[in-house]
Amino acid sequence: MTVTTNSPSSTYVITAGWTNPTDAYSSDNVRTYTPTTTAAQGYGNYGFSFAAGTVIDKVEFGIERYTSASGDTISLYYSVDGGTSWTLVTSSTPTSETLDYYDRTADRTWTLDLLSDANLKTKILAYLASGCLIEGTKILTPEGPKNIEELNVGDYVVGNENGRKVFSKIKAKTTHFLKTMCHEYKGTGFAGNHKVWVDGEWKNVYDIQPNAREYEGFIYNIETELGNYYGENDLLIHNLTKT
C-alpha cells in the first residue's frame, strides 16, 4: 500500500483575520495566527496525482496547531466541491502544539475526482473564548428561573454565600452577537471559557465537557455582588464578564 501525504500550496481568505496564512503550508515552526474570532482561511492545490484505477483505502486530514488562551478553539473543515459546502473534521482547544490526523474515510465513497485540486479544499476557523452564556440560558431568581436575556442590572438572582443560597444583585451585564463554539453542561450552553462549581472547586466547562457545537447568536454575561449565581439543575456559575 502506498501512502501519500501532501500539503497545500495555495490559500485564500474566507473571513479576514489570519496573518501570514502561507506559513501554514508546512511544519517548520513558522506559523499563521489570528487574534480575530470567526477568522476563516481556505487552502487548496494539494497536488494529488494518482494513476487511473487507483483504489483509495483511507483518507486522513492532519492539522498542527495550538491556542494561546484556554477556551479558544481552532476548527478544521474540508470540502470536496471546491468550497461550496464544508464538513467539520475537528474542533479543539490545545494550549500546547500538537499534530493530529483524523480518519475521515467513512464520511463518503472517496474517488480520485474528489481529491483533485478543483474539488479538495480545507478551511481553518478560529473561535476566541468569550466567557458568556447563550441566549435562553435559565438563571435562578427569587421568582424562579428566568432567561438570562430577560435580566437587567439591579435585578436579583440566587447565588451562594458560605454554602447558603441567598439573593444577589446584578451589578453589570454584557451582551454580544457572534459566532462561536458552545459547550453544553447540565442544560446550560457556555460560549468559551467559563467556570462552574463541581466537586468542591471551580472548573472550566470545556475541561468537563470538551465536546462543542457551533453557535451563532446573542451571548450574555452578568456580574453579581456575590460573584456567582445558579443556573439550571442547581449548577453554580462563576462570574466572568468581558467587554
Q: What is the pLDDT along the chain (243 residues), one digit of tens a residue?
A: 799 999 999 999 999 999 999 999 999 989 999 888 788 999 999 999 999 999 999 999 999 998 876 667 889 999 999 999 999 999 877 878 999 999 999 999 999 999 999 999 999 998 776 668 999 999 999 999 999 999 999 999 999 999 999 999 999 888 877 777 788 899 899 886 678 999 999 988 877 887 778 888 888 889 899 999 999 999 999 985 433
Burial of residue 45, with CB atoms counted within 10 A of its CB: 0-12 exposed, 13-18 middle, 19 or more buried: middle
Within 8 A by CB and 6+ apart from 144, the residues are none
Compute how many other C-beta atoms are within 10 angstroms of the C-beta atom of residue 135.
16
The x, y and z cell numbers of residue 239, run together, are 462570574
Closest to 111 in 3D by CA, of 142, 80, 139: 80
pLDDT number for residue 86 = 96
pLDDT number for residue 217 = 86
Residue 13 identity = V
Burial of residue 89, with CB atoms counted within 10 A of its CB: 0-12 exposed, 13-18 middle, 19 or more buried: buried
Compute how many other C-beta atoms are within 10 angstroms of the C-beta atom of residue 55.
8
Beta strands in 135-238 (DSSP E): 138-141, 144-147, 156-161, 164-185, 188-191, 195-198, 201-204, 213-224, 228-230, 236-238
pLDDT number for residue 216 = 83
- Assessment of whether the complete model's pTM goes beyond 0.95: no
Within 8 A by CB and 6+ apart from 133, the residues are 148, 188, 189, 190, 191, 194, 219, 220, 221, 231, 237
pLDDT number for residue 129 = 61
- Max CA pair span of the chain: 72
d(CA 179, CA 217): 7
Within 8 A by CB and 6+ apart from 3, the residues are none
CA pseudo-torsion sign 201, 204, 205, 206: negative
DSSP 113: G
Plot region of 71 (φ>0 → left; ψ -120 to 50 → alpha; else → beta): left
pLDDT number for residue 69 = 65
